[in-house]
């Protein structure tokens, strides 16, 4: 028997389907799921009913519909069924489409959102705060799913000291809602820091367990903060809306729930730096205060006062010495000035007195008895030394002394003759 390659089989299937007249132009009615507008311009989605699904694509060359494609929207598409050889699956290449209605599950989900919103389950005041230092983390998900692997990997990377507690729960199909509730209740009794509820993406049917009433009530009643990581960011479940925090993916849930040890170390470093700065500032402040107090104490100390008084005394002494020197110099100058003035005055007075003396001497010489004696007159004294100027001063028979310029002579008075006729005075005048 001949052996065929995978490519040959896929190519043969493609040719068979392409040659089928019915599949070349066919209309299909179904509900949109997993719709994605790709950056390359194509639109990918799944068209499903309650029992089966088929992939669909609208190539960028096909005219865009006049409404936005969303999950849950019922549409009728017209196109050709083809085979994607590289992937080995078939899909319908849509040429035209029109709106048909909303799917039953989306209508039910919309009803549940309105109901729980009216009951206040989505209100911010019921959201519990997640500790930034969470280290004991509970996880409600399937142990075989990719979600738990992503959560554990990210958690270990962020904080190798974190403690993870997994409750292996069904996240899809019959019994999934009850299994999730049991996981929430079990982990809530363990006094953990936070619980992560999550799974990978999927259709609305795959995620429906997280819209069940018993799960919603369990999430709302849980005492431990819950981070919901159900599906992807475009998915929207009741659990996401009631949970204390919603994460776009399980990996993001781990980043929200787990305390980043590097941030803790950074915070501790900042605290240390702040503490060191605060301590240094306090030390500087206290050192300055100590210096101020020391200065105040030194200013009030007896030794300081004594030094200050010594300084004042030295200053006053210098000032006094300066004043004394100034006064002394001034007095010395005044004495010198007055001495010069006095000497000049004395000299002037001496000259005046010398002139006066000379004048008086001249006058005295004119009045001197010796001058008269030199002209022939005599000076007469009694024997006992009394001056005799008139006859009545002597008696007859009395000895008298008659002085001349060159000596004296003793004489005996024999007779006193009075000049009654003025002859003697006339004689004197002639002399």
Distance CA 71, CA 64 (A): 17
Query: Phi and psi for 73 in degrees, rounded to 5?
Result: -80, 130
Give the model confidence (pLDDT) of 7-50 as tens digits.
Answer: 888 888 888 888 787 788 899 999 999 999 999 999 999 999 88
- Please check whether residue 126 is in contact with residue 220, taking contact to mean a CB–CB distance below 8 angstroms: yes
Measured CA to CA, the distance from residue 139 to residue 148 in angstroms comes to 8
402, 411 contact by CB (below 8 A) = yes
- Determine the topology of domain 6-102 in CATH: OB fold (Dihydrolipoamide Acetyltransferase, E2P) (2.40.50)
Using CB atoms within 10 Å of the CB of residue 40, give its burial: 0 to 12 exposed, 13 to 18 middle, 19+ buried. exposed
Is the pLDDT confidence value at 128 over 70? yes
| pLDDT score of 186 more than 90 | yes
Q: Class assignment of domain 108-123+130-259? A: alpha beta
Is the pLDDT assigned to residue 425 strictly greater than 60?
no
Average confidence score pLDDT of the chain: 85
State the pTM of this model: 0.50
Q: Are 187 and 219 in contact, with CB atoms under 8 Å apart?
A: no
Tell me the percentage of the chain whose pLDDT exceeds 70. 92
Domain boundaries, the chain: 6-102, 108-123+130-259, 370-430
pLDDT at position 381 over 90: no
- Asked whether the predicted pLDDT for residue 168 surpasses 90, the reply is yes
Q: Which residue has the tokens 């088929």?
A: 54
What pLDDT score does 293 carry?
A: 82
């Amino acid at each position: 028997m001949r052996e065929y390659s995978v490519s040959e089989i896929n190519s043969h299937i493609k040719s068979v389907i392409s040659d089928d007249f019915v599949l070349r132009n066919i209309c299909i009615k179904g509900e949109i799921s997993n719709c994605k507008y790709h950056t390359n311009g194509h639109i990918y989605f799944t068209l499903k009913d309650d029992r089966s699904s088929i992939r669909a694509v609208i190539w960028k060359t096909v005219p865009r519909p006049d409404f936005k494609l969303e999950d849950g929207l019922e549409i009728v598409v017209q196109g050709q069924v083809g085979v994607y050889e590289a992937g080995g699956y078939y899909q319908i290449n849509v040429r035209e489409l029109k709106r048909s209605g909303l799917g039953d599950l989306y209508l039910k989900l919309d009803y549940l959102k309105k109901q729980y919103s009216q009951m206040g389950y989505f209100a911010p005041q019921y959201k519990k705060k997640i500790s930034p230092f969470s280290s004991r983390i509970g996880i409600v998900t399937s142990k075989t799913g990719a979600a738990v692997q992503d959560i554990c990997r990210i958690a270990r990377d962020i904080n190798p000291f974190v403690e993870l507690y997994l409750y292996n729960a069904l996240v899809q199909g019959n019994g999934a809602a009850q299994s999730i509730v049991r996981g929430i209740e079990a982990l809530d009794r363990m006094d953990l820091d936070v619980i992560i509820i999550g799974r990978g993406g999927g259709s609305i049917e795959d995620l429906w367990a997280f819209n069940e009433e018993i799960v919603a009530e369990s999430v709302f009643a849980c005492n431990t903060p819950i981070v919901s990581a159900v599906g992807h960011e475009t998915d929207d479940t009741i659990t996401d809306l009631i949970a204390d925090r919603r994460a776009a993916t399980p990996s993001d849930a781990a980043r929200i729930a787990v305390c980043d040890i590097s941030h803790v170390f950074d915070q501790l470093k900042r605290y240390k730096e702040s503490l060191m700065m605060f301590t240094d500032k306090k030390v500087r402040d206290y050192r300055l205060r100590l210096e101020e107090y020391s200065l105040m104490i030194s200013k009030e100390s007896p030794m300081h006062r004594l030094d200050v008084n010594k300084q004042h005394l030295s200053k006053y002494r210098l000032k006094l010495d300066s004043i004394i020197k100034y006064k002394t110099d001034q007095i010395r100058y005044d004495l010198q000035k007055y001495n010069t003035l006095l000497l000049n005055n004395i000299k002037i007075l001496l000259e005046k007195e010398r002139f006066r003396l000379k004048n008086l001497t001249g006058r005295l010489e004119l009045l001197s008895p010796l001058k008269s004696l030199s002209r022939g007159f005599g000076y007469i004294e009694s024997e006992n030394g009394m001056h005799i100027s008139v006859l009545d001063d002597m008696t007859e028979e009395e000895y008298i002394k008659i002085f001349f310029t060159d000596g004296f002579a003793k004489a005996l008075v024999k007779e006193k003759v009075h000049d009654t006729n003025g002859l003697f005075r006339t004689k004197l005048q002639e002399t």
